[in-house]
Amino acid sequence: MTRPAQFDVFLCHNSEDKRFIRDIARQLRAQNLVPWLDEEQLIPGRDWLDILEQDIAVIKTVAVFVGEEGVGPWQRREISAFLREFVEQGTPVIPVLLPNAPIRPQLPILLKNMTYVDFRKQETDPFESLLWGVTGRRSPITLVQPLPQDKPPVSPKVAAPKKHESGSPLQWFSFEVVTVKNVESAGFFGREKKVTLDRRSAQAQYFRENLGNGVTLDMVAIPGGTFQMGSPDSEAERRDSESPQHSVTIAPFYMGKFAVTQAQYQAIMGNNPSHFKGENRPVEQVSWHDAIAFCQKLSERTGNPYRLPSEAEWEYACRAGTTTPFHFGEAITPDLVNFDGRFTYSSAPQGIYREQTSDVGSFPPNGFGLYDMHGNVLEWCEDVYHEIYEGAPTNGNAWNVGGEKNTRLLRGGSWNYYPWFCRSADCSRLTPDFCVGLVGFRVVWVAART
């Protein structure tokens, strides 16, 4: 690949925020700008410091991104090695707060007095502000995409409801549940990985809503039960926000078999904001407010009370009785989940990175018969973000008291997420107005809440 003679902007970022940075880089290219992105410019076998030092003279601006985890260790090394040099030679340096940045982010001292771009706010277009800083020109733009088992699945003593309260007939459907049983090294010098899967047949009940014009919505019966929410201290790549593990009791409810598709969203809302078009792909580029509006209109259309799941309902439904990091077991592969398969969790092998969403139902479901609970698109929940679970509800209700009022939770990971961010216990947060091509949602139906 020929290296560009000049870079319009150097993207200095924490690797934990890669999902946002890739979207921003794509948007910049759509404006005919050339970003310097580490995964594209760092040549294997070369010292990264030498490469960056060589490119300093041809970098026109620098954007320093701060997200949920703050400034990362490699990012600090970049800042320590080169930021002062950029500033002293007159290269514009732009602090950028990503949508998941904390309320009071810690900025490098050299950036304390610089005007920053804030993707957490919706009053103005933050990407347009970023372009202003990069190009020196302020003009309206058109974005190509708004930024960014080790236990049985269900206790036999807990049965799904025998009929749906709305009067819609309940039906049975059959599916195959897949579990990663073992991963073994194979091939020359053990560089290949052999994945052994367990497969079993299962059934679940569901009812079907008719949305008109041949579009339907399948709602799966989720039996009530009690589970441990969060992750144990021993789980790899866990975050503090997954603590403490606590017991939650969930009443029976119904959940969408799939994330809401583009056809379903079009049928209810009359538009399709998605970047990756396809009637059977999940709708994306929807804000939390968009998801709430969909639920309200769906309720009006059908006469049934639809809403977003609480975070507890979502994790309970995702786990389907499992206690492992994924409902597939200790690991996932790109054959089971749509995520960035170039990265691995536990002993799993590397695989493909699809770089886009997949049709819903392309991968095996969990023990409740729900598809794509890991990867493909992040899914909005009702709750606001809390740093830890101290004081969290134990009855499955959404936790909207306290916490960060300007944020809402998302679960499940997405097509461009690392595998550890797709775990059953992992959660993300965004402002409720934010739209990005890796965020969708699914709906639940509950007769009443106590």
Q: Does residue 37 surpass a pLDDT of 50?
A: yes
Long-range contacts of 136-145 (CB under 8 A, 24+ apart): 141/31, 143/27, 143/30, 144/26, 144/27, 144/30, 144/275, 145/23, 145/26, 145/27, 145/275, 145/285, 145/436, 145/437
Q: What is the phi/psi pair of residue 239, to 5°?
A: -120, 160
pLDDT, position 212: 93
- With b for 16 or more beta-carbon neighbours within 10 A and e for fewer, the 41-58 pattern comes to beeeeeeeeeebeebbee
pLDDT digits (tens, 9 = 90+) for 295-328: 999 999 999 999 999 999 999 999 999 999 999 9
Please give the structure tokens belonging to residue 324.
């492992």
pLDDT, position 187: 56
Q: Does residue 155 surpass a pLDDT of 80?
A: no
- Is 171-445 the same fold as 9-135? no
Q: Does residue 370 surpass a pLDDT of 90?
A: yes
pLDDT, position 150: 33
Label residue 139 by pLDDT band (50, 70, 90): low
pLDDT, position 45: 78
> Which secondary-structure segment (H or E) carries 87?
helix 84-88
| Mean pLDDT confidence for 338-349 | 91
Cα 408 to Cα 103, 142, 382, 405: the distances in Å are 14, 26, 7, 8
pLDDT, position 165: 57
Long-range contacts of 135-141 (CB under 8 A, 24+ apart): 135/8, 135/33, 141/31
Are the beta carbons of 441 and 360 closer than 8 angstroms? no
Question: Which has the higher per-residue pLDDT, 188 or 315?
Answer: 315
Q: Does residue 362 surpass a pLDDT of 90?
A: yes
Domain boundaries, the chain: 9-135, 171-445
Of 149-153, 196-200, 255-259, 419-423, minimum mean pLDDT range: 149-153
| Mean pLDDT confidence for 67-82 | 79
Label residue 161 by pLDDT band (50, 70, 90): very low
Q: Does residue 142 surpass a pLDDT of 90?
A: no
pLDDT, position 356: 96
Name residues whose C-beta falls within 8 Å of residue 95's C-beta, 6 or more positions apart in sequence. Answer: 64, 66, 107, 111, 114, 115, 116, 117
pLDDT, position 84: 74
| Mean pLDDT confidence for 138-165 | 40
Please give the structure tokens belonging to residue 89.
């030679």
pLDDT, position 213: 92
Mean pLDDT (the chain) is: 86
Q: Write the CATH number of the domain with boundaries 171-445.
A: 3.90.1580.10
Are the beta carbons of 368 and 377 closer than 8 angstroms? no
Label residue 121 by pLDDT band (50, 70, 90): low
pLDDT digits (tens, 9 = 90+) for 241-250: 999 999 999 9
Does the domain spanning 9-135 belong to CATH 3.40.50.12780?
Answer: no
**Rounded to the nearest 10 degrees, how much is the dihedral formed by the CA atoms of 235, 240, 244, 245?**
-30
pLDDT, position 419: 94
Percent of the chain predicted with pLDDT > 90: 57
Q: Does residue 73 surpass a pLDDT of 90?
A: no
Prior bond of 148 cis (ω within 30°):
no
pLDDT digits (tens, 9 = 90+) for 90-102: 888 898 988 888 7
pLDDT, position 188: 53
